[in-house]
Amino acid sequence: MTDSRTLPQPPAGGTATPTVLVIGGGASGNAAAILLRRAGIAVDLIEARPDWNATTGSGITLQGNALRVLRELGVWERIAACGYPYGSLGVTTPDGTVLFVAEDFRTGGEDLPATLGMQRPQLQQILIDAVRESGARVRLGTTAESLEQGADGVSVRFSDGSEGRYDLVIGADGLNSATRAAIGITERPEPTGMAIWRIAAPRPAGVTRTDLAYGGPAYIAGYTPTGEHTLYAYVVEACRDRAALDPAAYADEMRRLARAYGGVWPEITEHITDPKQVNYTWFDRLLVEGSWHRGRVVLVGDAAHCCPPTIAQGAAMSLEDSAVLAELLSSGREWDDELFQAYYDRRIARVRTVVEASVQIGQWQLDGVRDPDMAGLLGRTMTLLKERP
């Protein structure tokens, strides 16, 4: 990726100022909007949720390569002010006995923390503010109802009945992307067999890094500090029938699992009381192969790929997608199949490595493999991620 301060100007074909529609206001969509506006490209961003996802989610783990992109977006100082940086990972027994502590890989370089935890709504609000500051036009509670492609652009009809024409549409609408389906890409997310319970809670004073306990009634019980006074905790188990789960019992279910773990878990468990604060999600796998575009519609982030959070690289891969795509779009090249294929070619080996490693770690646990080559797999993956995409 080029430094965001020296992004080349956009091509002059089509309209005097190229126009882009970004569908979806998550991390990848927001990042794309910020970077394209900085390059002088006109951007409309639409988001289906009226609240722009500003209040949902518990916490997020951001490794160095994600922080590197956030720095390019110009929001690193705001991220650092509210997040919790750390540089190691602990592995414990279910009773809380620490087995070992490993230093995290600095995938973003030596001048950034190896890892930073933060509350997900805070990250989203920082990106929302940056999109607003960029001058992108934002419409909330709005979806794209139809996309009709011509030789040099896309005509879009919106859910409010309005229409627009764009030189490019970026589908950043997540795992169940309607944009992906609309352009005829048939891959769909597939469950891996695992699921996760998550909650935000007060941070016990002794929690200064991520600790993971393997075994007990769940596959993994872990927590990550997200600020001076907060953390998010999670328990990973085999996926259940979601239709049979009563959301009103979410806190009871997570608390039942969490009670089996020692160390600081009793302190955390005291705060698992409100079912509305507990999130239950299956782990999914998706990797679109061949290309991530059809004509002048291109996918980024979870719309093109997703993986379990077992190595905490989902947000990083999404942010990197947008940075690479923005670099190519503002390089002066024609916005054609060759450019969009170059975007895919830049991303696919790196993303495939992350998806396959993330799924493999979970599969080892599902299969009961007693001595997996975890260190080797993580070492190879993180060494690759130290390289710029």
Averaged pLDDT for residues 102-130: 97
pLDDT digits (tens, 9 = 90+) for 230-267: 999 999 999 999 999 999 999 999 999 999 999 999 99
**Collapsing DSSP states into helix, strand and coil, what is residue 211?**
strand
- Whether residue 279 contacts residue 57, with contact meaning beta carbons closer than 8 Å, is answered with yes
Contacts of 118 (CB under 8 A, 6+ apart): 59, 60, 62, 79, 82, 83, 84, 226, 227
pLDDT at 11 (0 to 100): 47
pLDDT at 152 (0 to 100): 83
Say whether pLDDT at 75 is over 60: yes
Averaged pLDDT for residues 120-139: 98
Query: What are the phi and psi torsion angles at 302 (to 5°)?
Result: -60, -20
Contacts of 290 (CB under 8 A, 6+ apart): 344
pLDDT at 151 (0 to 100): 82
Say whether pLDDT at 91 is over 70: yes
pTM of the predicted model, to two decimals?
Answer: 0.94
pLDDT digits (tens, 9 = 90+) for 257-316: 999 999 999 999 999 999 999 999 999 999 999 999 999 999 999 999 999 999 999 999
Say whether pLDDT at 322 is over 50: yes
Query: What are the phi and psi torsion angles at 352 (to 5°)?
Result: -60, -40
- Whether residue 305 contacts residue 190, with contact meaning beta carbons closer than 8 Å, is answered with no
Structure confidence at residue 189 as a pLDDT band (50, 70, 90)? very high
pLDDT at 286 (0 to 100): 98
265 by Cβ neighbours in 10 Å (0-12 / 13-18 / 19+) ranks as buried
Quick one: tokens of 341? 């294929």
| Residue tagged 């973003």 (tokens) | 108
- Whether residue 278 contacts residue 304, with contact meaning beta carbons closer than 8 Å, is answered with no
Contacts of 357 (CB under 8 A, 6+ apart): 310, 311, 377, 378, 380, 381
Rounded CA gap, 389 and 387, in Å? 6
Structure confidence at residue 16 as a pLDDT band (50, 70, 90)? confident
* Percentage above 70 pLDDT, the chain: 96
| Alpha-carbon torsion angle 347, 349, 353, 354, nearest 10 | 0
196-212 exposure pattern, b = at least 16 Cβ within 10 A, e = fewer: bbbbbbebbeebebbbb
Distances (CA, A) of 42 to 15, 134, 181, 291: 11, 10, 25, 25
How many other C-beta atoms are found inside a 10 Å radius of the C-beta of residue 55? 11
| Residue tagged 């806190």 (tokens) | 251
**Collapsing DSSP states into helix, strand and coil, what is residue 209?**
coil
pLDDT at 93 (0 to 100): 97
Provide the mean pLDDT of the chain.
Answer: 95
Query: What are the phi and psi torsion angles at 104 (to 5°)?
Result: -75, 150
Residue 234, amino acid: Y
Q: Let me know how long the chain is.
A: 389
pLDDT at 1 (0 to 100): 42
pLDDT digits (tens, 9 = 90+) for 136-158: 999 999 999 999 999 889 999 99
- Sign of the CA dihedral 297, 300, 305, 306? negative
Pairing label, strands 210-214, 88-92: parallel
Is CATH 3.50.50.60 the right assignment for the domain spanning 4-82+123-189+286-386?
yes
Averaged pLDDT for residues 212-221: 96
Structure confidence at residue 15 as a pLDDT band (50, 70, 90)? low
